[in-house]
Structure 1
Amino acid sequence: MVSSTIFNQTLIMLILIAIGVICAKTKLISEASNKDLSKFVLQVVNPVVIFMSYQKPYRTELARNLLITFGISVAAMTLVILLSYLFVRKKQGREFEIERFSSVYSNCGFMGIPLVDAIYHDEGVFYLTAFITVFNLIVWTHGVILISGKKDFRQVVKVFYSPTIISIVLGLITFFFEIRLPSTALNALGFIKEVNTPMAMIVSGVTIAATNVPKLLKNLRVYYVCLLKLIVVPLILAVPLSLLTGVDEKVRMTVLIAASAPPAAMCTLLSIRYGRNSVYASEIFTAGTILSVVTLPLVVKATEYLTKIL
């Protein structure tokens, strides 16, 4: 069952996160070093994982499923944004921008890639690239406008220069034109690919270690946002996904897992950049990452059940 596989994988990831916390507490990895490691994962390791997922023989079924994933991802992100405006109302004195952002945008790269790779391997990551593309386009438009309060559409242009998008474009070219790298190059990139999960989780652990946990536990709004992001929104999204019985299960589950991953760390980074409450954003990220170990398997299990009865 997919749900049991996800549970085992999230437990592994929790252990790796704990190692990151230990590394931070023992000063083995400093905050400055962690930022560099985070950049390395985002700008080198993740793009390599994505590119490698395209190094496979061209099949019409794969191409068709990829296009379907693009369409479903756009619909899913639109629904989630609408739900965020319904459940997180604008209120004086409340950090509603951070709460809306955290309830919409997931750690689909850091958490999504390791999870999907563990369950569906390269084919799952192949479909996940469609969601990541849609995610990047929306987060750098709607997401930035939400946090900054300014309509800066110049950010859209910058998206296309990001390593993630470049790796997707290069991957698509090699897939459709059936271009294969020499075995030596593939082996070298394969070594980089293998460090994705441990590095991403250790970086998350170091980030979590900097959070004031006692303060976090007292903030009920953190739990509310996590409830929205990890349970309410994914379960609502699971209903239409369960009805798409004609769509490959790998496509449906990949989109669900990506959308149900914990709140994106990007919220903290953007909050720092635009002068928002980055501590609050970090608290939501921390709580969401820990709670997702339980919620992700439950959401997938519920979706499997809905698919059978609907």
Structure 2
Amino acid sequence: MEGPVLVGVDGSEAALKAVGWAAAEAVRRDRRLLLLTAFTMDTAEVAFTWREEDIRAGLDHVLDTAHGRVLAVAPDLEIERATVLDSPTAALLHRAAEATMVVVGLRGRGGFPALKAGSVAYRVAAHSPVPVVVVGSEPEPEGEPVVVVGADGSPHGRRALAAAFDAAAALSARVHALRAWEPLIPPAQMMVSYDFGAMHAAEDDALRRDLDPWRARYPDLRVESDTVESAPVPALARAARGARLLVVGARGRHGLPVLALGATAHGVLHRVPCPVMIVHAE
């Protein structure tokens, strides 16, 4: 994809952190950066007490601050700016189709303090046609860069593998592929005996088969893999400690088709400190 790295800006420190991450990623991928800010005039108070030119001036100031943050770290990066009078979610999703990826802060100015992931981050991650990276407030870790990916064999998981190897190549990072599995719980009246050794071996073999084509396509990348008997969210949270990026599918193999984000994607947004990339199957 040749589109820009699109980043949402709202004047918050969380958004500026996302701007810094997006700028570095745009440099790594040789893409231009699109800074987008939006404001919705959806209340009578705003519509009757604010002039549109004053709103646009405020949004320009927000973009100026973000633009300056980019120039401080990537002075040669090609930068575009967009100001939209619409909801931030709608504005970002409207421009997402032409982007390589969308980057947002974990929580913006309008978020509720009790919620770690804000509504804009969640909705954009749930509905974007391209990968979405949600950037939290934690500083970038030192040491060897690692990209962790949840690989569960689902269509979303296979797309997550593709995105993870692509991101790792841009970062010159090691790939850590993790497959977390749990035996299905039978109805109470059924007596079931599990061969856990055979189940673990089957999951190992499935992960190896999923990784083989990507190892061949990226022969210079270091790749490690693990299968663990665990719920996916805590296993991924442990693996992502100190990682540069965690990549997961929007839904897993047991997710409900009607949900835009499955339990694992939802859970890691609230528990993982590193940037999280959410990838849809299509």
TM-score norm. by structure 2 comes to 0.29
In our comparison, the structure showing a higher alpha carbon Rg is: 2
Greater share of residues in strand: 2
Which has the larger helix fraction?
A: 1
Q: Which has the higher contact order (CA 8 A, sep 6+)?
A: 1
